[in-house]
Chain A
């Protein structure tokens, strides 16, 4: 540990715009404000004396911000001398944070880009990425490095946890307006991350095929109306949009599914029996499902199934795939 001075610091001594060691990003936790308000500052922030007399924040930027907000001044701090290197300060900031909490993806991106100024890429991949719980890989490093180049609403959403970094990585090659259109859609309705990935691919496929911008697919009349169906629950609206986009991307499959439902209706399956075609009508593996409570009920069901398999309409249905 480099030699440290302990002293009380006035806010005017701090250069708040010096982000050399800043790796925190995202909303300030409310709990921190309540804790400092209730019991005061338990852990002293770490700063560094600069040549120009001002102080650089090394660790504790959030604590200092909260103190300023609460009017707690002066603040007791540890202060490094000017002789301590930037790399040492940065490492202090990183280790101090990773020891206490999991960094959000934007903070991981900040760590990687800041450390890249001091270490070579193999060391960044082999040493720094595992420290951040990231798989050491060039591809992943490039994705994280690109995260900060995204539009600030997207960066904020990733830092705040409302947008998964996987989606942000996938949005990066798109144009700004398209990225933001996706963000708005994903923030409005409760799609899981895997469904967001599916929608992203589906919308991009439609966009390429039809020669329109992805944002025009997202904001077209039909999708807009589904999004604004305020009487329907959010989950239902999300599902409606997914089905609508799938139908637009795969009209043949959708038409076949509808034809199958009509054929099933015409066959007249006994209540409680459910017939599923092979996935995507590929291959010949059908699925018939029913439930029962008692052996007698099973007997009835099996008789129904036996009668069904003898029906010409049912056999035609299986062949008409």
Chain B
């Protein structure tokens, strides 16, 4: 599953950057096409291509939550877009116009923006993540970016970095000085769901084993049951996932666990139907949410959250469990409290964030 591009398309403006030099050193025989500027096309993804470009936007963005639902309030550190794992439900299929996996190489701009951001809000807790628009560790064997990011955050008293992944590419984390300021997180689903909807990602056991290794290296870990998917025997299958989770990792070292059911913009539906005709994830009934995204009917969402919450709390009473993009009434019904009662979701996670 390790991604090895067969062709690199690189913008000339970033030819001398350290990131490009690193990628070229790892892939010395991969053909390179040098271009002035990568063309924005709408066609299907070329699975063999990795584009490396100069990013002209903001590297730091707030999590794209909406006012209608309660957001975790973390900041996206945007180092690239798209992913090669091809999960059927992936929102990235409709989120960006450009189809190919793309890295941003002008990291000096990124570091500057990061330092400026941290400097502007010294008294705040900063939770950053690189796994919103791509998988955080998918390209790490090519870029070795974690070797820069992890020590950087180790030196920031009020900031943490969350690396979200469905891979097991954690080797480079072993020797890094993280000082507890990096949380490594995996998205979890039952084996059957992984086989049908996340076919190019690693198995559940492999993800949990990678998490265990990170714990051994002193990292705090996190899990995202997101998207939770309705499927035959979902209760039993998620019970099995939770059981394997607790038998593999030490729950005391889990920073947080999020729960979120499948949701998607309506534009994604025909894309899923066209690209993944065998997928059954759209068979369940959906209603438009307050943010325009399609969601499971709320009673079903509550049922799923309750089920997972009970299992997780049974395994470890003190776990920090939160819902991703849900309303107060769903929080109350599913978890028995609203974030507001505890100072708000951002505050809850901020308290959890720092070591």
Q: What residues make up the interface of A, taking CB atoms closer than 8 Å to B? A: 205, 208-209, 249-253, 256, 279-284, 321
- Contacts A/B (CB < 8 Å), 19 sampled: A205-B282, A208-B282, A208-B283, A209-B283, A250-B287, A252-B297, A253-B297, A256-B299, A280-B288, A280-B297, A280-B298, A281-B287, A281-B297, A281-B298, A282-B287, A282-B289, A283-B290, A284-B327, A284-B329
Residue from B280, B285, B288, B329 having most chain A Cβ neighbours under 10 A: B285
Distance between Cα atoms of A299 and B108 in the complex (Å)? 68
The 6 closest A-B pairs by CB, nearest first: A280-B287, A209-B283, A250-B285, A252-B297, A283-B290, A253-B297
Distance between Cα atoms of A252 and B283 in the complex (Å)? 13
Note all chain B residues with C-beta closer than 8 A to A205: 282-283
* 8 extra A-B contacts, CB within 8 A, seeds A251-B285, A281-B298, A321-B329: A250-B287, A256-B297, A280-B297, A282-B295, A283-B290, A283-B327, A283-B329, A321-B298
Name the interface size band of chain B: 10 to 19
Distance between Cα atoms of A32 and B73 in the complex (Å)? 68
Q: How far is the CB of B112 from chain A (nearest CB, A)?
A: 40
Note all chain A residues with C-beta closer than 8 A to B290: 282-283
CB <8 Å contact, A249 and B327 = no
Q: How far is the CB of A137 from chain B (nearest CB, A)?
A: 12
Q: What residues make up the interface of B, taking CB atoms closer than 8 Å to A? A: 68, 273, 280, 282-283, 285, 287-290, 295, 297-300, 327-329
Note all chain B residues with C-beta closer than 8 A to A283: 68, 290, 327, 329
Note all chain B residues with C-beta closer than 8 A to A321: 298, 329
Note all chain A residues with C-beta closer than 8 A to B299: 252, 256, 281
- Please classify the interface of chain A as helix (H, G, I), strand (E, B), loop, or mixed, using the class held by over half of its residues: helix
Note all chain A residues with C-beta closer than 8 A to B298: 280-282, 321
Note all chain A residues with C-beta closer than 8 A to B273: 208
Distance between Cα atoms of A282 and B66 in the complex (Å)? 14
Q: How far is the CB of A70 from chain B (nearest CB, A)?
A: 50
Q: In this complex, what residue of A is CB-closest to B269?
A: A201
Note all chain A residues with C-beta closer than 8 A to B329: 283-284, 321
CB <8 Å contact, B287 and A253 = yes
Q: In this complex, what residue of B is CB-closest to A250?
A: B285
CB <8 Å contact, B288 and A249 = no
Distance between Cα atoms of A250 and B296 in the complex (Å)? 10
Distance between Cα atoms of A205 and B287 in the complex (Å)? 13
Q: How far is the CB of B49 from chain A (nearest CB, A)?
A: 22
Distance between Cα atoms of A283 and B330 in the complex (Å)? 9
Distance between Cα atoms of A249 and B294 in the complex (Å)? 14
Note all chain A residues with C-beta closer than 8 A to B68: 283
Q: In this complex, what residue of B is CB-closest to A204?
A: B273
Distance between Cα atoms of A321 and B283 in the complex (Å)? 24
Distance between Cα atoms of A284 and B333 in the complex (Å)? 13
Q: How far is the CB of A197 from chain B (nearest CB, A)?
A: 12
CB <8 Å contact, A249 and B283 = no
CB <8 Å contact, A252 and B285 = yes
Please tell me which one of the listed residues B280, B282, B289, B297 contacts residue A250 in the complex, with CB atoms under 8 A apart: B297
Distance between Cα atoms of A58 and B295 in the complex (Å)? 56
Q: How far is the CB of B82 from chain A (nearest CB, A)?
A: 22
Q: In this complex, what residue of A is CB-closest to B332?
A: A319
Distance between Cα atoms of A256 and B273 in the complex (Å)? 28
Residue from B68, B298, B300 having most chain A Cβ neighbours under 10 A: B298
CB <8 Å contact, A253 and B283 = no
